[in-house]
């Protein structure tokens, strides 16, 4: 029953996403441009004699893959959830015979399925341009580990995003918090600059914070650190578990407080 | 005519400031976010500068901070004046809201690009100025008056060149109903302008100073401020502005012909 409902919701979201094909294409182009700019800057600096702390091939591989990892682990739920809570739109999902967050999960999965189809050829093109410096892992175990880290990162990002959206049960406007978290996340996840390029003590200080596991960790596995240490995996699983548990708790408390029209 | 435009624009500023004073928390958050954003944009520039310090091309942390400082000054103005209008353009074209701007007794293109202002973004002017001063203090140097004047002139022209590029990219909304993500692409391309000249090889340098003129915002002006040549970059930037202005005028005319307003 739950599986059929989930499949129906994903199918519905797929249809909606496919009606906005041009938007998806432009959006993915927007995801590829930042790493392209970084690639131009870094390869330019290296060509002029810059000596980064890690091999240049690893930096190039990072920037070629970052758009895909970033898209797969992204979440855009908070604003929509907050609006549903504020305007009472949540009510129709509370009375349906499926988990109230199911449609948000379905939206996340379906949109990513369409986006990946558009994004992969763009990233492959980028890989061809920089083929001499892109080094992908050959060991299937590394790919398996990266896939596992990607799934975990996706769940962690989604859970953190839902938590921000749930703040709307208590506050009227969560946009400020969302923007601030986004800024912090950009820096601490490695989206602005790969964490491996930061000074050693800073890297060590940032090693176990949650945002690293939303982007940097899967990329670190793919770009050369092999299967990461057990402590990193435990930290990622711990943060993901804690975030999902926090969502369940906050959701229960929030729904009790929910007072929109019809509640 | 120009008096009327000036009065209209002053009224726009008055209205924006009263709106900001009414929603004080929101304004404070925008200002705070703008400052944090500058701090974050310093990180990649500094990281690259650290690794390139010994490079033959020659650049250091002070140069990196100087470019980010100038970039912050220029983009603060762009985001306070042009940005709020271009970010709304897609929705204005789709919903027909643009009609309300076109019927005003001032040139349509001016109304379209200057109607909305966001004074809170100007907080970044202070941060940018502090970074420029800090960069010179770190390098234990002071620019000459001529270099400052040349830099400001080049930066003004470069900012206009980028504004024209941004306007044309935003006009995609007239041709394509899902052009909203174009703003994300423009924003990402603009980020190239916060790195020193030494980070670009010949081909990217050509592209980022002509077709996508992000290096004209701060990278080239920083070179002039550090004592580099002015004449060449000035002529080149003026040519980009001239061509961009002509292209924008033609594009605007074509876009208006294409526009199906809400009332048509």
Question: In the Cβ-directed half-sphere of A57, how many Cα atoms lie within 13 Å?
Answer: 10
Q: What domain range is A117 assigned to?
A: 2-257
Domains in chain A: how many in total?
1
Q: pLDDT band at B105, cuts 50/70/90?
A: confident
Q: How far is B94 from chain A (nearest CA, A)?
A: 14
- B→A contacts (Cβ < 8 Å), by residue, are 25-26, 29, 32-33, 36-37, 40-41, 43-44, 47-48, 51-52, 54-57, 176-182, 184-185, 188-189, 191-192, 195, 198-201, 204
Q: Flag if A48 and B204 touch (Cβ within 8 Å).
A: no
Domain edges within chain B:
2-9+24-258
Query: CB distance from A179 to chain B under 8 Å?
Result: yes
Cβ-based burial of A90 (10 A; exposed 0-12, middle 13-18, buried ≥19): buried
**Residue A74 in contact with residue A108, Cβ under 8 Å?**
no
pLDDT digit string (tens) for B155-174? 999 999 999 999 999 999 99
Contact B204 A183 (CB under 8 A): no
Q: pLDDT value at position B205?
A: 94
Query: Can you give A6-51 as a three-state secondary structure string?
Result: HHHHHHHHHHHHHCCHHHHHHHHHHHHHHHHHHHHHHHHHHHCCCC
Q: Which residue of B has its CA nearest to A26?
A: B181
Identify from B52, B120, B193, B211 which residue to disrupt to test chain A contact, counting A C-beta atoms within 10 A and taking the largest count. Answer: B52
* Residue A40 within any structural domain of the chain: yes
C-alpha dihedral (B152, B154, B158, B159), degrees to nearest 10 = 10
The residues, ordered by sequence, that sit 6+ positions from A84 with a Cβ below 8 Å of its Cβ are: A90, A93
Residue the block writes with tokens 């001499």: A132
Q: Does A167 score more than 80 pLDDT?
A: yes
| Structure-model confidence comparison of residues B30 and B45, the more confident one | B45
Q: Pick B149 or B120 by higher pLDDT.
A: B149
Q: Report the range of poorest mean pLDDT among A22-36, A122-136, A169-183, B207-221.
A: A169-183
Flag whether A37 is in a domain.
Answer: yes
Number of CB atoms found within 10 A of residue B141's CB: 11
CA distance A102 to A11: 13
For residue B184, which residues of chain A lie inside 8 Å, CB to CB?
A: 27, 30, 33
Element (H, E) at A258: none
**What pLDDT is attached to residue A54?**
87
Least confident of A114-128, A224-238, B132-146, B191-205: A224-238
Q: What local confidence, expressed as pLDDT, does residue B101 receive?
A: 85
Per-residue tokens: A166? 């749930």
Determine the Cα–Cα distance for residues A149 and B53; give it in Å rounded to an integer: 35
Q: What is the pLDDT of residues B50-84, one digit of tens each?
A: 877 655 555 788 888 999 999 999 999 999 999 99
How far, in Å, CA of A175 to CA of B29, rounded? 10
Task: State residue B19's pLDDT score.
Answer: 85
Decide if B190 contacts B217 (C-beta within 8 A). Answer: yes
Q: Which of B135, B162, B113 is nearest to B5 (CA)?
A: B113
pLDDT in the model for residue A208: 94
């Amino acid at each position: 029953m739950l599986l059929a409902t989930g499949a129906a919701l994903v199918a519905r979201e797929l249809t909606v996403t496919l009606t906005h094909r041009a938007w998806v294409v432009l959006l993915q182009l927007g995801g590829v441009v930042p790493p392209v700019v970084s690639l131009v800057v870094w390869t330019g600096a290296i060509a002029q004699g810059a000596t980064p702390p890690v091999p240049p091939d690893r930096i190039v591989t990072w920037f070629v893959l970052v758009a895909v990892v970033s898209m797969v682990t992204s979440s855009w739920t908070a604003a929509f959830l907050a609006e549903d809570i504020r305007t009472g739109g949540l009510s129709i999902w509370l009375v349906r015979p499926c988990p109230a967050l199911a449609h948000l999960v379905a939206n996340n999965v379906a949109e990513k399925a369409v986006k990946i189809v558009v994004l992969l050829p763009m990233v492959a093109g980028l890989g061809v341009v920089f083929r001499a410096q892109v080094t992908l892992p050959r060991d299937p175990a590394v790919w398996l580990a990266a896939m596992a880290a990607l799934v975990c990162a996706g769940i962690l990002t989604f859970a953190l995003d839902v938590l921000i959206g749930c703040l709307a049960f208590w506050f009227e406007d969560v946009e400020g918090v969302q923007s601030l978290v986004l800024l912090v996340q950009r820096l601490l996840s490695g989206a602005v600059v790969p964490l491996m390029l930061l000074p050693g003590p800073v890297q060590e200080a940032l090693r176990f914070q949650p945002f690293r596991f939303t982007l940097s960790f899967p990329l670190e596995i793919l770009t050369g650190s092999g299967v990461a240490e057990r402590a990193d995996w435990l930290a990622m699983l711990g943060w993901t578990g804690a975030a999902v548990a926090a969502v369940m708790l906050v959701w229960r408390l929030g729904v009790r407080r929910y007072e929109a029209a019809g509640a | 005519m120009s008096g009327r435009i000036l009065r209209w624009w002053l009224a726009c500023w008055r209205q924006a400031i009263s709106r900001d004073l009414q929603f004080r928390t929101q304004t404070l958050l925008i200002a705070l976010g703008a400052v944090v954003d500058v701090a974050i944009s310093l990180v990649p520039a500094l990281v690259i500068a650290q690794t390139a310090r010994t490079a033959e091309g020659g650049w250091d942390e002070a140069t990196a901070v100087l470019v980010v400082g100038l970039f912050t000054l220029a983009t603060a103005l762009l985001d306070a004046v042009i940005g709020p209008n271009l970010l709304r353009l897609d929705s204005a074209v789709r919903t027909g809201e643009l009609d309300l701007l076109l019927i005003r007794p001032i040139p349509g293109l001016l109304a379209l690009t200057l109607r909305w202002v966001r004074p809170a973004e100007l907080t970044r002017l202070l941060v940018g100025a502090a970074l420029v001063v800090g960069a010179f203090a770190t390098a234990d140097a002071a620019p000459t008056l001529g270099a400052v004047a040349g830099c400001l002139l080049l930066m003004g022209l470069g900012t206009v060149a980028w504004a024209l590029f941004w306007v044309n990219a935003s006009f995609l909304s007239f041709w394509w109903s899902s052009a909203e993500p174009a703003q994300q692409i423009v924003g990402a391309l603009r980020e190239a302008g916060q790195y020193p000249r030494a980070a670009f090889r010949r081909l990217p340098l050509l592209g980022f100073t002509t077709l996508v003129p992000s290096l004209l915002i701060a990278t080239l002006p920083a070179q002039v401020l550090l004592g580099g040549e002015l004449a060449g970059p000035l002529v080149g930037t003026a040519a980009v502005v001239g061509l961009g202005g002509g292209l924008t005028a033609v594009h605007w005319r074509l876009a208006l012909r294409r526009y199906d307003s809400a009332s048509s």
